[in-house]
Structure 1
């Protein structure tokens, strides 16, 4: 069985499909969450320098670049918006693939839908196809893919390609060639976010643009190598332990659809820290201690919690978003890790800096064995009065088994978007995203 052909056939089937009420709701939740992220990040680096670098090449078109509110071409909008949507680290997660599908898939799909002048239903169908194709590919190459690769930059290319192919009315054969061409343009190294720098958000931006290009070219007759996913020198062989574990992902296509199983972030930092943050918050609520009462905190988690997020000396915004020490200290002191946690005052706050050395991180065999299906942590807090508190956190608030409600999501949207557009404008946009039949267009930022 050729996995690429199976996935292409599935994606092409969404061209004229009907979304039932439950699927429509889940797809709108993904779109609302993406808009919250893209508008919160639209005027931040690296979206702004990227937009300046490409200003002379912006061109004309009907797609919207939310960084500057300009109408532009499909590929330009996909690149800029895909980048902007990953900046504030609030974007959705498909936990079984260690993957943020929304950033590349929706950035490309929305740009294509605006370019083609379609309606909301067509956009939601394309998103559903892009999520399903890319999430199943991610599932096939994990967990070893994540040793070196940033899945959102690599696999995100397939999500963008499949979604745009649906909107361009590509048949199954054309969609297969779009996915095949996308494979050879996929990239994104994990080292980009193990240190400082701005290139991590570029990964989904590049994925959105490359996937869109692959679909546009396939629509015009460009072909790709149809064995590129599972071949001996193909995508899976090059980026994981073997040529992929395809049987299970292919058997699970649509059972249920990936877009109905999304994790919606409840903290504005790396998702590998979330279980620890939830545990700390619950222990503090239950026992009523303050940060000053804490003698030490130990977080035991799966490998990425240790390898990616054990950063006791974090200083910059990028480093602190991936620092268990910084974020746990922030939770102890302020009760939340939201956008304000990473403003200039907080980054240098002496109170946070005083707590960070008391926090340690290790890898736990049980947590690692359960990854990626379960994102867990074991947190031990030693208090100065010699009490020792412990909590095993088996999941994260926002995961499918502990989901954010629609009200929670709406509040998150208004929190992130209100400061950028004004409260009334944010509420109007949210209403349109929940209920509207027309595509979202230009959004005026302050």
Structure 2
């Protein structure tokens, strides 16, 4: 075993989580559950839950877990897969810029699935496990991006964070952990992100398969299946990526999304929204909108979306929604929102181009600028704008609360939604059990 793995094994077994990271974990956890609730009625979520209930059956009740917001039980890998797929298909969940992807959408489902057999698990311990899994996932992502030529989806690397959750909660030995990380890395879905951008589908960011693979990896390793080493952990050329484990808490640097849209669209949205608010503009005032953004953002789906997946990966559509309605919410990217004629009328006014200046700052930053041409010929320039929600421009807690309610309340109702939001504080209190939270998101079958 490498020195890096030895250090990682100690970290996974007993993470020493500072209060600031634990606090952030609580907020990200509740925000993620809000996204999960908002995605409950989407077709990909329904299909994934039905599939897990039909085909992932646990013979032993100790290996079963309930499907959140559903109540039916299935095997642990199926429960993790279903909820991760559900969250992944409403693109409002958190992320970390250097990973070019998302962590919580896979590790939160894994935490609920594995913790079901641990009713004694305290909320604070659960938050520490969650924070640990964010750190493992983040470094696995950065290592993978550095060492391969293609741009893979989040499932390719958040599977290692999922395996870490399972190994911790199942009491794996260091040897079993090493095998689990190797299995998770080897079988993690090396799906090509830009293929999904070009043709958006229910596959989204691969986190459903990442959660499935990571959960299976932990359970297989506990039975003696071998898969080590994980080269994104143990190779010498990535040792520096893991050197600050336990010192730098990247979970505190994760952004929270204000919109249920691909993060690559957020800087243009913020630039447009800022100008509209500052000048008190409506769509009637805007003759043309031109966006300069980074290459990946400029590659987002250009046409009028027909599906929720296309809508979440469409920059022009998101801008047209914001221009017309003043905000972008879950209601705009599904159902009647996809057939909004007033939004469709605005699409011809919008043009997008790649700006090398912004491309050079990706993935560490998500920058864009916009120019508005008004009906009277006046031009307004936003200047360079960085997507808000991360440490550079954090959302205020009241904004996060409003977002949570807009996502969760239509599914859960106001009273249950309010109770779930209040758990972000209760989870940090001594005496609170993680099962207190699970009870709010797991209806009786």
- Answer yes or no: same fold by TM over 0.5: yes
Return the alpha-carbon distance in structure 1 between the equivalents of residues 125 and 170 of structure 2. 10
247, 250, 262: which one pairs with 1:258?
Answer: 250
Q: Which residue of 2 aligns with 1:134?
A: 137
Return the alpha-carbon distance in structure 1 between the equivalents of residues 150 and 331 of structure 2. 31
Distance 1:282 1:156, change over 3 A: same
Return the alpha-carbon distance in structure 1 between the equivalents of residues 9 and 263 of structure 2. 28
Contact kept in structure 1, 2:80 and 2:113, CA below 8 Å: yes
1:418 is displaced (CA, Å) by 1.3
Distance 1:167 1:406, change over 3 A: farther
What SS does the aligned partner of 1:36 have?
helix
Return the alpha-carbon distance in structure 1 between the equivalents of residues 152 and 295 of structure 2. 15
Instruction: Provide structure 1 residue ranges, at least 5 long, that are not aligned to the other structure.
Output: 232-242
Return the alpha-carbon distance in structure 2 between the equivalents of residues 145 and 356 of structure 1. 37
Q: Which residue of 1 aligns with 2:332?
A: 341
Distance 1:35 1:332, change over 3 A: same
Q: How does 1:17-416 map to 2 (within 5 A)?
A: 17-57=15-55, 58-59=57-58, 60-61=61-62, 63-117=65-119, 118-142=121-145, 147-150=150-153, 152-187=154-189, 188-190=191-193, 191-200=195-204, 203-226=206-229, 228-229=231-232, 246=238, 248-307=240-299, 309-416=300-407
Return the alpha-carbon distance in structure 1 between the equivalents of residues 100 and 107 of structure 2. 15
- Between the two structures, name the one with larger relative contact order (CA 8 Å, sep ≥ 6): 2
Per-residue displacement from partner, 1:94-116 (whole Å, max 9, x unpaired)? 11111110011111122111223
275-284 or 33-42: bigger deviation: 33-42
18-27 or 350-359: bigger deviation: 18-27
Return the alpha-carbon distance in structure 2 between the equivalents of residues 394 and 37 of structure 1. 25
CA-atom RMSD in angstroms: 2.5
Per-residue displacement from partner, 1:271-314 (whole Å, max 9, x unpaired)? 0000000000011111222212222111111111012x141343
What SS does the aligned partner of 2:306 have?
coil
Contact kept in structure 1, 2:24 and 2:252, CA below 8 Å: yes
Contact kept in structure 1, 2:144 and 2:232, CA below 8 Å: no
What SS does the aligned partner of 2:372 have?
strand
Contact kept in structure 2, 1:314 and 1:320, CA below 8 Å: yes
